[in-house]
Copies of this chain bind each other. A is one copy, B any other.
Amino acid sequence: MKHLFTSDYCELAHPAVLEAFSAIGNTQFEGYGLDEFSMRASDLVRTLVNFPSADVHFIAGGTHTNLVLISSVLRPHEAVIAPKTGHIFVHETGAIEATGHKICTAQGDSGKLSVPEVEAIVKEHCDEHMVKPKLVYISLSTECGTVYSKAELTALSSYCRSNGLYLFMDGARLGAAVNSPACDLKYADIAALCDAFYIGGTKNGALFGEALVLTNDAFKDDFRFLIKQRGAMLAKGAAIGLQFEALLKDGLYDKLASHSVNMAMKLADGIKAAGYGFLYPPQTNLIIPVLPKATASKLRESYGFHDWEDRGDMLAIRLVTSWATPEAFVNEFLTELV
């Protein structure tokens, strides 16, 4: 069978997560995320992000987390600003619009929004015949595998706070970003600069589950009503709490993220050494090299990956490593590359 560099959700879960399930046996717990495991996991999240007053909610998947948060905090006429590559704009089947909200897009650079782009959208929306942009959606790491610098995120946050906008970060791959050598942001910076963000479990060792962190007090009231209404409140919420406890209590989450980034960096180094370039700077566990089509075709016989962009004789492909990627496969890939 081919080895898949398709995405970072292709392996089930880290053994420590499964062990946490097994360990509790038939111990009974409170339903709907009010169990002790979820409570402890929430505390671990608050500690990790150094934001004691944050509310933490666990939701099964990323699209669901995005739509619950966004539809909870916006009034009907308020809109989202996102880069064109934003997951909510491209790959969530109109989930945000289905809750009634328009997404206004900017071109972005390497998947990232800049303050001038946000400002241009805000200024363009000048009266009640247009939606009112209210929430800025960004991803870290981005869909292009890139990271914001602390300076960039600070500038965005500052603009948002000065202009009555919320800043929300999709952190499906937050672990890979924070553990990237290219990134000078810590979890605590993100909590301090965003109104809400989530720490992705699905793509970093969990069976499923994302930890949504609300730092803006205005977001907290009645949030569990919204989770329930959108179908996002698992009867056995403990199933996510247990996982985050296992991932966070001893630093496993960062360890796994580091491994995935390391494997991607090793791939990137090998690709560079072989003389090829990248569409965007390789910074996290998702990289986009540009290879000759013949090379890509040969690699496709043994490896799974997505095509990103046709560039004449060359093809940009997306390679994603995970917490479970064996170094051996990376080495083999690089051997076949040459």
Residues of chain A whose beta carbon lies under 8 Å from any beta carbon of chain B: 1, 3-4, 6-7, 9-13, 15, 18, 21-22, 24-32, 60-68, 71-72, 75-77, 79, 90-95, 97-102, 128-132, 202-203, 207-208, 222, 224-236, 238-239, 242, 324
In the complex, what residues of B have CB within 8 A of residue A71's CB?
A: 76
Residues of B within 8 A of A242 (CB): 12
> Which residue from chain B places its CB closest to the CB of A7 in the assembled complex?
B31
Chain B CB within 10 A, most for which of A64, A66, A77, A91 = A77
Total copies of this chain within the assembly: 4
Q: Specify which chain B residues have a CB less than 8 angstroms from the CB of A202 in the assembled complex.
A: 234-236
- 24 inter-chain pairs at a CB distance below 8 angstroms, sorted by A residue, are A1-B28, A4-B28, A10-B31, A11-B26, A12-B242, A18-B22, A60-B234, A61-B235, A71-B76, A72-B76, A75-B222, A76-B226, A77-B225, A93-B129, A93-B131, A93-B229, A94-B130, A94-B229, A95-B231, A99-B100, A128-B233, A207-B236, A207-B239, A231-B231
Who on chain B is nearest to A62 by CB?
Answer: B235
Q: Interface on chain A toward B: helix, strand, loop, or mixed SS?
A: loop
Select the residue from A72, A94, A222 with max chain B CB neighbours within 10 A. A94
The answer to whether A28 and B13 touch across the interface, beta carbons within 8 angstroms, is no
A93 to B78, CA, bound (A): 9
Evaluate contact between A232 and B64: CB separation under 8 angstroms: yes
Query: B91 touching A222 by the CB < 8 A rule?
Result: no
Q: Given known contacts A67-B230, A93-B128, A202-B234, what 15 new A-B pairs fall within 8 Å (CB)?
A: A7-B31, A9-B236, A12-B29, A12-B236, A13-B239, A18-B22, A61-B234, A67-B231, A77-B94, A77-B225, A91-B130, A98-B100, A128-B227, A207-B239, A231-B232
